[in-house]
Chains A and B, each alone.
Chain A
């Protein structure tokens, strides 16, 4: 079992075109509201996939299915070659540790300070950290998002943009191999958005992460994307690079870029 795992790991590390995330025929509905009607997508190792789509089209639901937060009605969801719809909680948790998830509204723990928010996961998953090492790690990720002096603040004392950046720091603290960003730049000013986009690229290069980025911010999409997908009516409506989709024949697709 263990041997098998390390084997696939080394394979993905050497072969750039092995998909790390593979979704096949994903369906999900809430009562009569059919949100996803057969999503197919795959993301290769080290790739940044941007997902666009109107509000309510099911972008957030798609990545929530990917980490097992929302249980899909039908379909195959393969992460690191494991179908997460077919494994138990313990196995799922082993995969979740390797995935970072940035929530649309940051979802910081209100009752904890910024330091505790970041230390919460770190303490539980990295064993044998001394308090000093813990503090260093926390300060390092905070510096990455440019908020080193917010370490003792409570989430209620932070502005929306600061919350988002702390959320980002919390997402990245375990150095995940896959990062799912749900609107990382929404609600930030253009300069900060730009910095966040740079940060995403930095992380991708430094940690060789694979990411899915959901966004409405076309500047961020242009800057970070290797490939884009547009969601419409529960399916992937269009797919391609930024330049390709910008010149698409489909007027609806082009309207995203104007």
Chain B
């Protein structure tokens, strides 16, 4: 038990150091701009197909599932607005972040883990190149920026999915659907939801990097790093989401 507690504190200490190092190094030159852009491309662009498919299905399914209940109360006209609200406030951010935790966090964990195990990170260090700057700062920055963009993209695709779902049973023009959606969303729906996606992005990158960077020797630790990156990142996303919702409740 005591050893278990000691390990937890030990981990918390290491994560804190790892994170503060990010804030120390992100503002000081040299800036690894080329690597940052490459990571944005890998993290953002290459996740597009996955986010498109899940976003579309979320919107479609949400519409189809909510329709019967709303129809009972004769409130079918609320359907577009309701779907848009649930998508923007909760479902698109969380599902997209979870997908990214699965794809990006594990990818980064495995990549940095194998670089660690095969001494590539050590090689940068002895070449007097700061591996934290080159590998970690660029990746955390890229996820922090790309995950919110992916979420906004998923919002849009999800609403289009909702439109298709709605048209399976009734006949609504895209224009009318859009105006119904826009009528029901306010700034307060978008703003807090967008803020939290930056945190999702930050932690997805940070956890992947941390797990990879701390990988022990031996090839099996690469798999472990990737695996525990996904688990930890997913859990963290739920916790952040809970905190974000509580805070939003408090302030708005």
Contacts and interface: CB of A to CB of B under 8 A. Distances in A.
Interface of A: 64, 67, 69, 93-94, 96-97, 99, 101, 103, 105, 107-111, 120-121, 124-125, 174
Contacts of B126: 67, 69, 96, 99, 101
Interface string B104-147: 00000001001100111011111111000000000000000000
Interface residues of B, number: 15
A69 B118 contact: no
B120 A109 contact: yes
B166 to A, nearest CB: 45
Of B30, B114, B126, most buried by chain A (CB within 10 Å of CB) is B126
Contacts of B128: 93-94, 96-97, 121, 125
Nearest to A104: B119
Given A120-B127, A174-B127, 6 more contacts: A69-B122, A69-B126, A105-B119, A110-B114, A124-B30, A125-B127
A108 B129 contact: no
Contact of A96 (B111, B120, B127): B127
Contacts of A64: 122
A113 to B, nearest CB: 14
Contacts of B119: 103, 105, 107
B84 to A, nearest CB: 40
Contacts of A93: 128
A109 B123 contact: yes
B115 A110 contact: yes
8 contacts: A69-B126, A97-B127, A103-B119, A108-B120, A109-B120, A109-B123, A121-B129, A174-B127
Nearest to B126: A101
Contact of B123 (A94, A99, A107, A174): A107
Nearest to A180: B126
A107 B127 contact: no
Contact of A103 (B30, B111, B122): B122
A181 B92 CA distance: 53
B120 A110 contact: yes
A87 B104 CA distance: 37
A121 B127 contact: yes
Of B124, B125, B127, most buried by chain A (CB within 10 Å of CB) is B127
Contacts of A121: 127-129
